Structure 1
Amino acid sequence: MKFATLICSFFCCLHLTFAQQPAYKDAKQPIAKRVTDLLSRMTLDEKVAQLQTMHAGRPKLDDKLFNNTPKLDSLFKNGMGMMNPAFDETMEVTIAARNRLQDYMVHKTRLGIPIIFIDEAHHGLVQREVDVFPHGIGLACSWDPALLEKIYTHAAKQARVRGTSLVLAPVVDVCRDPRWGRTGETLGEDPYLCGMLGSAIVRGFQGSTNGTIAVDHVAATLKHFSGHGQSEGGDNQAPANYSLRVIREAHMEPFRLCIKNANPAGIMASYNEIDGIPSHANKWLLKEVLRKEWNYNGVVVSDWFGIDQLWNKHFIATDQKNAALKAFNAGVTTDLPYGVNYRYLGALVKENKISTKALDSEVAKILELKFRLGLFDEQQPIDLEKARQNAGGTEGHALALKIAEESMVLLKNANNLLPLKKDQYKKIAVIGPMAATNYLGDYSGLPSKNISLLEGLKNKVQGTAEILYAKGCRITTNGDTISQNNYQYIDTIIFPSAAENAQLIDEAVKTAQQADVVVLAIGENEQLSRETWGPNHFGDMPDLRLQGQQEDLVKAIVATGKPVVVYLSHGRPLAIPSIAQQVTAIVDGWFMGEEAGNAFANILFGDVSPSGKLTITYPRSTGQVPVYYNHKPSAQYFDYVTEEKSPLFPFGYGLSYTTFNYSKPRVILANASPKKTGGTSMEPSDKVYGTVEVDVTNAGNIKADEIVQLYIHQKVSSVTRPVKELKDFVRITLDPGQTKKVSFTIDASKLAFWNADMQYVVEDGIFECLVGRSSADIQKVELKVGHDLLSK
């Protein structure tokens, strides 16, 4: 009897234990219920802590901190929302620190709420021993959403296996001023292309189309909302005081498309102001549009020190507490990177300046994200060996090579110099400041392998030709040698003397004279094309010409009479009209990632036909800026006194080693016989108006890819419209002699715009559907439509 009583008591206690388990710890419960339960248990200080962040390097997460229990408790006893990365650590140090901190959060804090570890991952994880892919502007030149999704799936896995659960990427800013140092981070000048490629990147990061964050994936954060890419004077963080229509149609559109097509977990507010209101304090931007109009339910993170700037740069707040109030009321969920402003949220609640309901709403967003990421249910620490296995393996190298091959743009190929035949040239001179060092661009990790042009060409010829090398000139004297640190972090820039470069040019000429053909690698390094963030760390440029006597180098090499192939490595389009006229061939490689040298070698010798297309316009001079293809009819109307206003190389432009012939495009109306084509009007109620078809034929003798582009222009409308706007594109592969029919659906989303009354509509009128190989090489067919008001 006594035994039976003991057994009964045991099971009663066991039942009571399970019954008392909080709902938020029960993985079987819906996330909404877990969030509600957890919120109900939190103190005000614990709630505020979830909206704060810290930096992993200040204070450093090392033995000194973890062995100092009072200090550790003072920092983390109430929990913490997110932890920003330290960029100077090894993988081993980072993982050890993250494991110790997460263990503290889960087992030593009252409620055991895990922390989110943040990393940058613009074109690969910004850590050591990772795969580094082409810079954003280079990736975009592939026009290949499917490949980008694979690449960012790979990047997500490299991040998650190290404990990262949220990344501050992708950058979907529309760039309309290449003087801006962050041009290379963007996907180009077109809102539709930025939106569609950005959506693919988000899907890769998160592993879904609906916002679900799959296993081995991470939460993505769109940057920077909004107008950051057309700052005054190309000056980082400067105002973007453009009309509401420009902000809507150009700068906000990529974000809307990404939210619609991929539902990113996070949005980052931008540094700039719009109409006098900084984005971090802009209720219209973050609440009216983002929350109410677009129904976005994710988190809004500040840019680093973005809330601080409300009081120390924009001067619309008196101090940190007032800045916190303005940012919180505007809709910023969390404060990066130190959370110093949001430490005042508790006091603001007690003063009735922020309601408990409003605070709970933002805290719930952070908690929901943590549940969606599975952080509450993960029991195992980060596995260092597993992380090592995923660091820079063959899969990443293959993806990096593929995307580099697809992204390089052939800008010129006079007399069909390219591709070179391996047995044609016995001596190849590789000259220039970008030849022996492969620059990776701003926000780059450190790859386990990094192939320069010089190394790639040596690998390729393998004794069939002799490779000669000369430096040619220096761009900067402290940014062109191999280092364990990225060049982007070298603050002070030291320029070489003209005399030093003159000597290097003389040596390069002697090298070129010995060769049969010259590969001239020029451009800009990371010190000249990066984010400006401090008084000693600049990256914006007033001059888009080549720096460091590179133009003198080109003239001297061309004067030798040797065929010259220019390879451009850079982060922004450069003004190179004289170079484009002088040299025989030009390949644009931007900052092309860890496999740049091998990819270029494959293109140079014809193993791969170039297929990349520009996603940003090349100006003829700095004075021509801003210059972009989707300008208004009255822009670029008259030439300058000394220069024509047409671009040096237009948006969407890129040559191939074969010839693609396009048929005349045709319109097939929706619900009509396929034989009925042309400019016939349609019913106003139709949402899908029809399709535009074109036949594309590979008229050459090699297999190659072509990027077919669709542009739209309404001939007459209630407000001025761009002369053309990209509305669709497709990458196709054609064998020699093969023809493919390409079809583009014309629906309301491709025709709608903000009319004179700021309503998003499709107006009556005639639309030109323009199809071709670039924005400047297109054929048109007309389409008449009736009126159709769209919901916002």
Structure 2
Amino acid sequence: MKEILLYALLLIACNFRLKAEDKPLYKDATRPVEERIADLINRMTLEEKLLQISASVLRKNDMDSLGHFHPHASHQSLIQKGLGQLGKPCVAFDLDASQTARISNEIQRYVMENGRLGIPTIFHEEALHGLWARNSTVYPQALGLSCSWEPELVKDIFEQVALETRSRGSHQVNTPMLDVCRDPRWGRIEESYGEDPYLIACFAKAIVEGLQGTKKIVERNGIDSAHVIATIKHFAGYGVSERATNKGTVNYGERAMREVILPPFKVAVEEAGALSVMPGYHAVDGVPSHANHWLLNEILREEWHFKGYVVSDYGGIDGIKNDHRLAASTEEAAAKALLAGVDLELASPNCFRNLTNLCESNREMAVALDTAVARVLRMKFKLGLFEHPYANEDRASQVCHTKEQQALALKAAEKSIVLLKNEHETLPLDKAKIKTLAVIGPNAKVCRYGGYSHRDEARGISIYDGLKNKLGKELEILYAEGCKIHQNHGYWLDFKVDSVDQTEDIERIKEAVKVTQEADMVILALGGTAMTCGEFLGYRSSLDLYGNQNQLFEAVKATGKPVVVCLINGRPLTINAIDESADALLECWYLGEKTGEAVANVLAGDVVPSGKLTVTFPRSVGHLPQYYNALFKPKNGYLAVNNSPLYPFGYGLSYTSFAYSNLTLSKRVISADERLEVRVQVKNTGKYAADEIVQLYIQDEVSSVVRPLKELKKFKKISLQPGESKSVTFHLCVDDLMFYNVSNQYVWEPGTFKIMVGPHSEKWLDVSFSLE
């Protein structure tokens, strides 16, 4: 309400100034931004305002045969009049970095020269795990990155993502995804940072700061030419839908929303200063996110003091009518979204442009429109686009896919790998005992990137190529495909999963067995594709390996040769047989362009695996949802099965071993204004220098509402030489013990708390203290 009143006063003031001076104050960079915004809004027609809160996606046919911008007839009038945003020039035109910068400049020049008021547009892109563009750097998928437990590493990555994006002429990315994911059947889990709100919040802050710069600098100076606007999504609860389906209903109450779903978004807004928020396609407790005033205004703006703008997900406003049946017309859906707090419609101008009549006849709608336009314009001023609208075309090729960025991609891939099993020290490979190595499997000779990736996966290094490059001079490397996951390749925009010819797969398995018999050891690369786990087709009722991969494993294992399984996939899978029989097992996720090099370095022992799971691996889909921080543990589990996870949250082995001891507290009783110091001794008891992720969990032993069995509150990665011991210190304060009570008030309560410190969520030392 204060924001709306402020703009009403500024518009009146600017109206008087216009009559007196009639000059474009909004073009004067020396004037305060809020005055410039008000002046510009006062000059705009209703049509121009509606276009500023609308967007369109660029297409291949907006470029001529010589690679220059030539707007298609369907776009021309819209682009001429000026839209709030234009989407994905990197994807639409598929040019190299400098050429993309050039055509982006051509479009921006066209927009500013043809628009009556010369308002620049914002170009947005996708950058889930690297900019989706030709010749950009491809990093591991988000779920893999989270297993590094290194927010600072991820911040470094997204600083480079921002640089690659901005250098090509774009200004905003639709990332990061901050959804808490508790059910791996959900297809977009690969885009998430796991199941724990605290850990996701740590990554949220790092990613937003990497993309935008720190909050203080952005508030003072705006966003510089090396950074972009971050869009945190999908606000809020999209990843915990019923039955793990896309756009499914989320039946979480307010306490669960505040305790589990909202914390990563809160940190991204309050601590990192995120400037863009995208609602999800889902409904929360019966209210679509795109029409949810409680989420978009009461929580986001009034409680968290969000200063940016809300952009719809693609077609999200249409979904109010078409998916949720909350509106009888497109105009009604648009009105609900605008009044709820959506400021900009992506990515087609289907809805907001239909608000002309309502804005002319309804004062509330007219004020809401001006407020949304002001928020869009504020971002353009914050980006400096009125003064510096064009990219440096020569710079783009110099800062994209550099050697430093490729080295960072390799480092990230190595740190994302999780060692799940290593019987009899099968790994690292003993080259003295191995003369011939068979590399087998449908994911052995292809580098899979997962979703939101450029089609050119051939540029990436496969596991076969990585091992051939690293060990090919010392060992004979054999190959067999073994089976197909599905007939088509599985690029994330294929939109199909073609069945495999079973007769052909039987022959492939026979060939794999033959190759295995000629080798001393097998590296078996199994997993998924962007079609079996992803946004469009990747929602599954089963978590078994797709196709004939289990049969391939059984046939290869039956030869008696040692088998190391490398999973290249985007979600936890039910892999009980592999867990039981494989000699070693690596969860590799989608590791990006350096997949094969990273895996080869780990297999050879040049890199000791240090990743830890950020999602629980269930034993079956019947155990779902299964996550470590459940509210209670039932005394009677499912009949006649093991009810524990196959692999728990935080789990991950190393080539060395670690011993935890001497868990101590600075005090056993503290008051609310005191800080508690927690110390634990960790020793490397093995023979490899390695990293360990020390995890601290708490349990509220008696509370006024049901609390989780355990909650991650702190973690620290340490490096230890063989035989070395370190004292690891954590600090806890009353903020770490707060929760939402029965009245949804954020409080602390006196009582006893258990502290658990260890290598993962199911193994720890514990000690208790009291809060008075």
TM > 0.5: yes
> Could you say if the C-alpha distance between residues 69 and 170 of structure 1 is closer, same or farther in structure 2, counting changes exceeding 3 Å?
closer
Query: Who is 1:556 aligned against?
Result: 555
Q: Which secondary structure does the structure 1 equivalent of 2:675 belong to?
A: strand
Q: Summarize the alignment of residues 717-728 of structure 1 with structure 2, pairs less than 5 Å apart.
A: 717-728=703-714
Asked if structure 2 preserves the Cα contact closer than 8 Å seen for 1:392 and 1:448, the reply is no
Asked if structure 2 preserves the Cα contact closer than 8 Å seen for 1:62 and 1:97, the reply is no
> Could you say if the C-alpha distance between residues 756 and 563 of structure 1 is closer, same or farther in structure 2, counting changes exceeding 3 Å?
same
Query: Who is 1:535 aligned against?
Result: none
Q: Which secondary structure does the structure 2 equivalent of 1:779 belong to?
A: strand
> Could you say if the C-alpha distance between residues 715 and 595 of structure 1 is closer, same or farther in structure 2, counting changes exceeding 3 Å?
same
Alpha-carbon distance, 1:370 to partner:
0.7
The whole-number CA distance in structure 1 between the counterparts of 2:87 and 2:311 is: 12
25-34 vs 727-736, which moves further: 25-34
Alpha-carbon distance, 1:184 to partner:
0.4
Aligned residue identity for 2:525: A
Query: Who is 1:588 aligned against?
Result: 587
Does residue 37 (structure 1) correspond to residue 39 (structure 2)? The answer is: yes
Q: Could you tell me which of 66, 80, 84 is aligned with 1:81?
A: 84
Identity %: 43
Q: Which secondary structure does the structure 2 equivalent of 1:665 belong to?
A: strand
Q: Summarize the alignment of residues 30-109 of structure 1 with structure 2, pairs less than 5 Å apart.
A: 30-57=32-59, 60=62, 62=64, 74-85=77-88, 87-92=91-96, 94-109=100-115
Asked if structure 1 preserves the Cα contact closer than 8 Å seen for 2:339 and 2:365, the reply is no
Q: Which secondary structure does the structure 2 equivalent of 1:545 belong to?
A: coil
Query: Who is 1:412 aligned against?
Result: 421
> Could you say if the C-alpha distance between residues 67 and 704 of structure 1 is closer, same or farther in structure 2, counting changes exceeding 3 Å?
closer
Q: Which secondary structure does the structure 2 equivalent of 1:528 belong to?
A: coil
Query: Who is 1:527 aligned against?
Result: 531
For residues 274-296 of structure 1, the C-alpha deviation after alignment (integer angstroms, 9 at most, x for no partner) is 11111011111111111111111
388-397 vs 55-64, which moves further: 55-64
Does residue 690 (structure 1) correspond to residue 671 (structure 2)? The answer is: no
Asked if structure 1 preserves the Cα contact closer than 8 Å seen for 2:84 and 2:121, the reply is yes
Query: Who is 2:469 aligned against?
Result: 459
Q: Could you tell me which of 504, 511, 525 is aligned with 1:500?
A: 504
> Could you say if the C-alpha distance between residues 559 and 386 of structure 1 is closer, same or farther in structure 2, counting changes exceeding 3 Å?
same
Does residue 137 (structure 1) correspond to residue 143 (structure 2)? The answer is: yes
Alpha-carbon distance, 1:703 to partner:
1.5
Does residue 221 (structure 1) correspond to residue 231 (structure 2)? The answer is: yes
Query: Who is 2:750 aligned against?
Result: 764
Alpha-carbon distance, 1:40 to partner:
2.5
For residues 486-539 of structure 1, the C-alpha deviation after alignment (integer angstroms, 9 at most, x for no partner) is x0011121021332211111110010011011101001111101102xxxxx22
The whole-number CA distance in structure 2 between the counterparts of 1:160 and 1:563 is: 48
Alpha-carbon distance, 1:416 to partner:
1.0
Under a length normalisation based on structure 2, what TM-score does the superposition of the two structures give?
Answer: 0.93
Asked if structure 1 preserves the Cα contact closer than 8 Å seen for 2:651 and 2:760, the reply is yes
The whole-number CA distance in structure 2 between the counterparts of 1:779 and 1:336 is: 50
Q: Which secondary structure does the structure 1 equivalent of 2:678 belong to?
A: strand
Aligned residue identity for 2:213: G
The whole-number CA distance in structure 2 between the counterparts of 1:545 and 1:578 is: 10
Aligned residue identity for 2:539: D
Asked if structure 2 preserves the Cα contact closer than 8 Å seen for 1:129 and 1:448, the reply is no
Query: Who is 2:542 aligned against?
Result: 543
Asked if structure 1 preserves the Cα contact closer than 8 Å seen for 2:338 and 2:368, the reply is no
Query: Who is 2:300 aligned against?
Result: 290
Does residue 165 (structure 1) correspond to residue 171 (structure 2)? The answer is: yes
The whole-number CA distance in structure 1 between the counterparts of 2:727 and 2:717 is: 12
Alpha-carbon distance, 1:100 to partner:
2.0
For residues 548-589 of structure 1, the C-alpha deviation after alignment (integer angstroms, 9 at most, x for no partner) is 111111111111111110000100100001110001100110
Q: Summarize the alignment of residues 123-202 of structure 1 with structure 2, pairs less than 5 Å apart.
A: 123-202=129-208
Asked if structure 2 preserves the Cα contact closer than 8 Å seen for 1:130 and 1:448, the reply is no
Alpha-carbon distance, 1:271 to partner:
0.6
Aligned residue identity for 1:653: Y
143-152 vs 22-31, which moves further: 22-31
Alpha-carbon distance, 1:211 to partner:
7.0
Asked if structure 2 preserves the Cα contact closer than 8 Å seen for 1:512 and 1:557, the reply is yes
Alpha-carbon distance, 1:73 to partner:
6.1
> Could you say if the C-alpha distance between residues 737 and 68 of structure 1 is closer, same or farther in structure 2, counting changes exceeding 3 Å?
closer
Alpha-carbon distance, 1:148 to partner:
0.5
Alpha-carbon distance, 1:690 to partner:
1.5
654-663 vs 154-163, which moves further: 654-663
Does residue 751 (structure 1) correspond to residue 737 (structure 2)? The answer is: yes
The whole-number CA distance in structure 2 between the counterparts of 1:527 and 1:781 is: 46
Alpha-carbon distance, 1:21 to partner:
5.9
Q: Which secondary structure does the structure 1 equivalent of 2:37 belong to?
A: helix
The whole-number CA distance in structure 1 between the counterparts of 2:145 and 2:570 is: 12
Gaps of 5+ in 1: 1-18, 481-486, 533-537, 669-676, 787-792
Alpha-carbon distance, 1:198 to partner:
1.6
Q: Could you tell me which of 344, 352, 357 is aligned with 1:342?
A: 352
> Could you say if the C-alpha distance between residues 88 and 424 of structure 1 is closer, same or farther in structure 2, counting changes exceeding 3 Å?
farther
The whole-number CA distance in structure 2 between the counterparts of 1:66 and 1:627 is: 51
The whole-number CA distance in structure 1 between the counterparts of 2:166 and 2:468 is: 36
Q: CA RMSD in A?
A: 2.0
Asked if structure 2 preserves the Cα contact closer than 8 Å seen for 1:121 and 1:155, the reply is yes
Alpha-carbon distance, 1:350 to partner:
0.6
Asked if structure 2 preserves the Cα contact closer than 8 Å seen for 1:169 and 1:222, the reply is yes
Gaps of 5+ in 2: 1-20
Q: Could you tell me which of 241, 244, 248 is aligned with 1:238?
A: 248
> Could you say if the C-alpha distance between residues 417 and 69 of structure 1 is closer, same or farther in structure 2, counting changes exceeding 3 Å?
closer
Q: How many residues end up aligned between the 2 structures? A: 743
Query: Who is 1:357 aligned against?
Result: 367
For residues 600-657 of structure 1, the C-alpha deviation after alignment (integer angstroms, 9 at most, x for no partner) is 111101101100000000000111110000011144x323223111000000000011
For residues 231-284 of structure 1, the C-alpha deviation after alignment (integer angstroms, 9 at most, x for no partner) is 111111111112222222111121112212211110100111111111011111
Query: Who is 2:400 aligned against?
Result: 391
Q: Could you tell me which of 256, 259, 271 is aligned with 1:261?
A: 271
Q: Could you tell me which of 509, 512, 518 is aligned with 2:513?
A: 509
Q: Which secondary structure does the structure 1 equivalent of 2:592 belong to?
A: coil
Query: Who is 2:449 aligned against?
Result: 440
The whole-number CA distance in structure 2 between the counterparts of 1:463 and 1:291 is: 61
The whole-number CA distance in structure 2 between the counterparts of 1:436 and 1:756 is: 55
The whole-number CA distance in structure 2 between the counterparts of 1:320 and 1:221 is: 25
Q: Which secondary structure does the structure 2 equivalent of 1:117 belong to?
A: strand
Q: Which secondary structure does the structure 2 equivalent of 1:773 belong to?
A: strand
> Could you say if the C-alpha distance between residues 68 and 739 of structure 1 is closer, same or farther in structure 2, counting changes exceeding 3 Å?
closer
> Could you say if the C-alpha distance between residues 67 and 396 of structure 1 is closer, same or farther in structure 2, counting changes exceeding 3 Å?
closer
Aligned residue identity for 1:638: N
Query: Who is 1:13 aligned against?
Result: none
Asked if structure 2 preserves the Cα contact closer than 8 Å seen for 1:310 and 1:316, the reply is yes
Aligned residue identity for 1:764: P
Alpha-carbon distance, 1:355 to partner:
3.9
Under a length normalisation based on structure 1, what TM-score does the superposition of the two structures give?
Answer: 0.91
The whole-number CA distance in structure 1 between the counterparts of 2:593 and 2:70 is: 40
